[in-house]
Amino acid sequence: MDWSPFAAVLFDLDGVITPTADVHRRAWTDMFNGFLAGLDGQQPFTDDDYVKFVDGKPRADGVRSFLSSRSIDLPDGDADDPAAAHTVAGLGTRKNDRFNEILQRDGVDAYPGSIALLDALKPAGLRLAIVSSSRNARAVLSAAGLLDRFEVIVDGNVGAEAHLDGKPAPDYFLHAAAALNAAPEHAVVLEDAISGVQAGAAGTFGLVIGVDRGAGHNALVNAGAHQVVSDLVELLPAGDADPTQMQGTP
């Protein structure tokens, strides 16, 4: 890929840099199925539910979106509600607790292709940011040994403090681009979630790349991706390491 027209690269984290999208999916599934088991007439939470209602969104938005799909009404509660609270915030806390349990137990390794691309972009002078709805982004980056690879990290904590609208709104990406002094038309967005691709498209960024870790090529294109890859190794600058030697994910 020719990176010369661009000044900045804005990476989603879970599912783009690290396979923690799978950890999030497991945590959401465990949390929602435990909650739904106490209600009459509710079917289990599915992978399709995760993709449609939760993936890529700030935690509370994901809870509300899924509950609305099942016509379940809960009060929002307060941000510091405990996991036992029967509120949107309480369910979010329950999910976060489960996520951290899995992360601490299993750890996390970055995708090899993502490391290869980061290694190639740094000497090219591109400015790099992480843009994630998760409040755990720094913990994940630290666990993967990548915390020092990015100039800017816009995560769920930054979003809450700055009152940013979550994906699919473009606010998180625009905030990161501004922090890097990069105009949107000179920045690239890399996203695996449909809501994240929609956010990149809404921000009129110069290039929106969908990373297909399961959402589907057509779904990402329909959400606004200009290009879809299955692994970031496909985006190495010309002349870098042979992509055929970099295939595979942890």
Would you please indicate which residues are annotated as catalytic (active-site) residues? 12, 14
Helix (H), strand (E) counts: the chain: 10, 6
Beta strands in the chain (DSSP E): 8-11, 127-131, 152-154, 187-191, 207-211, 227-229
Tell me if residue 10 falls in helix, strand or coil: strand
Q: Which two tokens stand for residue 160?
A: 């809450």
CA 232 – CA 22 distance, rounded (Å): 17
Dihedral of CA 234/141/131/223: which sign? positive
Smallest CA-to-CA distance from 32 within 62, 76, 75, 61 is with 62
216: left (phi over 0), alpha (psi -120 to 50) or beta: left
Sheet holding 152-154, edge to edge: 152-154, 127-131, 8-11, 187-191, 207-211, 227-229
